[in-house]
């Protein structure tokens, strides 16, 4: 099947085409309008999606050298995400489904982050996925395709949210995660010991205390001192977050007995998290898979591959399908 994937859950409008040869295009239109606000403004995001979705889909089809007549199914993010943004994508996909008489496939955005690993790899079930993004931090036990059990999740801030909020305290541009990762590479991760919450407790996460700790740590520091030690602070924060994530992942592997582990979500692009996860996987003798950096953040390629898997399982939706912000 030739599948058109559409992603519009937050502030990136994306379209991708998947054929029998694999991903043929993956176009992402990012929204710069949110930079001056230091975060995503939902109303502005949905308006920007409306302006760009047609051009984004057309560009994806052009790069894939495919016409709309050759599309066999359209897969679209159903949730979770910003409701206004989701509505733009789902309404557009429904229009294509109705006008072209092609099947519609609603996709759970968090499922898609996990199955982004299947674009270039063939992980074996059962497995544990560490899904880390701006809105979610989850440990998911995946018995088989779409048979999921969340065995650990954040009780407050997600890891990506912590990166962004701490980055804002440091005066870094939004989104701060990639900037902190780049600066951390030249810093000392043991410069300051920030708290690692719930480290000895189960599989749940908590990152709000880390954010507060950084706030108090910076209160009596001069701006020049912060700039001088920016790399070390970023490295210390990254270490605190990555350490918790990997130790919880290790605990989840022991609890479930799986031999396959996936990293997923935007924060899975973090270099310190990848290094620590790779070391842990070697020590435990498990297989670790990570998506290409371009498939870590929100993108339609992950929607298309998940749509392919659902289509193969005969899981289609009708035009009554509606988006859910908290799917």
What's the chain's length in residues?
A: 327
Query: Is 5 marked as a binding-site residue?
Result: no
Rounded-to-integer distance, Cα 198 and Cα 247, Å: 11
DSSP 154: B
Query: Is 177 marked as a binding-site residue?
Result: yes
Residues 6 or more apart in contact with residue 253 via CB below 8 angstroms: 128, 261, 284, 286
Query: Is 109 marked as a binding-site residue?
Result: yes
Query: Is 113 marked as a binding-site residue?
Result: yes
Q: Which two tokens stand for residue 203?
A: 């599989």
E-only strand ranges, the chain: 3-7, 12-19, 22-30, 73-79, 104-108, 127-132, 137-144, 147-153, 260-264, 287-289
Query: Is 136 marked as a binding-site residue?
Result: no
Query: Is 131 marked as a binding-site residue?
Result: yes
Query: Is 117 marked as a binding-site residue?
Result: no
Query: Is 11 marked as a binding-site residue?
Result: no
Residue carrying the six token digits 């609890």:
255
Query: How many angstroms separate the Cα of 37 from the Cα of each of 9, 60, 124, 164, 286?
Result: 19, 29, 42, 13, 42
Query: Is 164 marked as a binding-site residue?
Result: yes
Query: Is 270 marked as a binding-site residue?
Result: yes
Binding site for substrate: residue ranges? 131-135, 164, 177, 181, 270
Binding site: residue ranges? 109, 113, 131-135, 164, 177, 181, 270, 298
Binding site for Fe cation: residue ranges? 109, 113, 298
């Amino acid at each position: 099947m030739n599948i058109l994937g559409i992603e519009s859950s937050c502030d990136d409008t994306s379209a991708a085409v998947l054929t029998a040869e694999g991903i043929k295009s993956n176009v992402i239109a990012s929204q710069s309008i949110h930079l001056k606000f230091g975060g995503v403004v939902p109303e502005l995001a949905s308006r920007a999606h409306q302006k760009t979705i047609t051009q984004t889909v057309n560009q994806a089809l052009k790069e894939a050298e495919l016409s709309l007549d050759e599309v066999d199914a359209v897969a679209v993010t159903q949730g979770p995400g910003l409701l206004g943004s989701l509505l733009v994508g789902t309404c557009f996909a429904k229009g294509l489904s109705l006008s072209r008489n092609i099947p519609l496939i609603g996709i759970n955005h968090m499922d898609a982050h996990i199955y982004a690993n299947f674009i270039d790899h063939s992980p074996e079930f059962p497995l544990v996925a560490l899904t880390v993004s701006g809105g979610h931090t989850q440990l998911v036990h995946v018995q088989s395709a779409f048979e999921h059990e969340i065995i650990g999740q954040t009780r407050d801030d997600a890891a990506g949210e912590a990166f962004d909020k701490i980055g804002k305290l440091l005066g870094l541009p939004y989104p701060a995660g990639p900037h902190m990762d780049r600066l951390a590479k030249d810093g000392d991760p043991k410069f300051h010991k920030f708290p690692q919450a719930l480290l000895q407790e189960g599989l749940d996460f908590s990152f709000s205390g880390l954010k507060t700790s950084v706030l108090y740590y910076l209160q009596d520091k001069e701006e020049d001192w912060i700039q001088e030690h920016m790399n070390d602070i970023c490295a210390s924060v990254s270490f605190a977050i990555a350490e918790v994530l990997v130790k919880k992942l290790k605990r989840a592997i022991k609890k479930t007995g799986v031999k396959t582990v996936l990293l997923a979500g935007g924060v899975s692009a973090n270099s310190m998290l990848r290094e620590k996860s790779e070391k842990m996987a070697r020590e435990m003798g498990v297989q670790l898979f990570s998506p290409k950096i371009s498939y870590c953040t929100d993108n339609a390629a992950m929607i298309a591959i998940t749509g392919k898997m659902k289509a193969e399982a005969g899981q289609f939706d009708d035009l009554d399908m509606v988006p859910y912000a908290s799917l």
